[in-house]
Amino acid sequence: MPRSYLVQGVRTPFGRYGGALAGVRPDDLAAQIISELVRRTGVDPSALDEVVLGAANQAGEDNRNVARMATLLAGLPFEVPGHTVNRLCGSGLTAVVTACQAVESGAADLVVAGGVESMTRAPWVMAKPSRAWQFPTETHETSLGWRFVNPHMVGLDEGAATISMGETAENVAALDGITREQSDRFALQSHQRAVAARDSLAEEIVPVHVDGEVVEIDETPRSDATLEALARLRPAFRRDGIVTPGSSSSLSDGASAILIASEAALDRYGLEPAARFVGAANAGVRPSYMGLGPVASTRRLFDRLGWSVADLATVELNEAFAPQALACISRLGLDPATVNPEGGAIALGHPLGASGSRIAWALARRLASSGPGERGLATLCVGVGQGMSVAMEAC
């Protein structure tokens, strides 16, 4: 069976909601990283078989197949096709897996895979009137969360299928007995690790020019974060809860992309791979405990591969919320020291469509600096109750 390899990855800095990247359209963010990825790898753009991007919103400037729009805006030949996938928070990782599976099926040799999201520029939407002269009455802000909920969904999962993602994190915290102090300490660690890793992350970041300024670093990691400051924040989702803005991933803007190649393409274009794609698995869980998705998908993946947690040299676990991440680490028996050593989404931000491809490349990059055969895991939870996990090996 053909194998697929992660060759090179790039991303924009991740900007805070309404922050440094607020003036840049998502299709332009994606176009910049596609163009830079092609430039850095030196591949002939006409050799690309496909561009696959994840995007969770697709309600505004990222509508009508943002992957194809970004491919054209990047100046790639008209003949290079593109398609967009949506698995909410798992969209970028789904794009990576789609590309790897296309290569391993023999359907492609070179694919750009990634994701993009501008949560700042997500529009307000309104329901279309059902009859003439009727005024629209239902409007929604689309940056995050539910809109136009199917009434039949409301009664599912004991009436909790449509609660906010923050409330699902509170459910997980209560189920596993996670305390406010544990949650805050995890959030602090994420910021400390991200700040410490800023120089090592610089190589993968593509500077973005905005109104005469250059955005070169992630906007949300805080060097001044303290446990005392985090403890002063009020719960964001329940009055007696433990999840605060400080222990939640932030609404963010950004894009990321990876070049995926076959063995034949590696030889043909003189490319050096960082890691080999080994396998992937998805799993569903109760929507009201969405954050436990990585537990189910990782167990399913390891059952297929015959792997165990003891095999892992490093792990990327998307930090939707601190208690959610803590519960997954505990339930899977992961070594906390190996999980997100460069910080996670609590510090770096979580532009939904781009986060999965960010963690995929972070994992591949670290594996590239380890010994051949070292194994790693990238995993995340997904809204409406899913988990997604990807296994890789160092080349």
Active site residues: 89, 350, 381
- How far apart CA 357 and CA 355 sit, in angstroms, is 6
Which of 5, 1, 73 is CA-nearest to residue 36?
73
Question: Alpha carbon 16 to chain centroid distance?
Answer: 15
- How far apart CA 191 and CA 284 sit, in angstroms, is 30
> Phi and psi of 6, rounded to 5°?
-90, 120
According to the 3-state scheme, what is the secondary structure of 236-299?
Answer: CCCCCCCCCHHHECCCEEEEEEEEEEEHHHHHHHCCCCCEEEEEEEEEECCHHHHHHHHHHHHH
Angle value at C-alpha 5, between 362 and 313, nearest 5 degrees: 45
Q: Give the dihedral sign, CA 10/122/170/247.
A: positive
Which of 202, 255, 59 is CA-nearest to residue 143?
59
- How far apart CA 286 and CA 382 sit, in angstroms, is 11
- How far apart CA 213 and CA 139 sit, in angstroms, is 35
Pairing of strands 252-262, 110-118: antiparallel
By the 10 Å C-beta count (0-12 exposed, 13-18 middle, 19+ buried), 272 is classed as: exposed
C-alpha Rg value of the chain to the nearest Å: 20
**Residue 344 · residue 317 · CB < 8 Å:** yes
- CA–CA distances in Å: residue 345 to residues 218, 262, 310, 371: 11, 30, 25, 27
- How far apart CA 249 and CA 89 sit, in angstroms, is 12
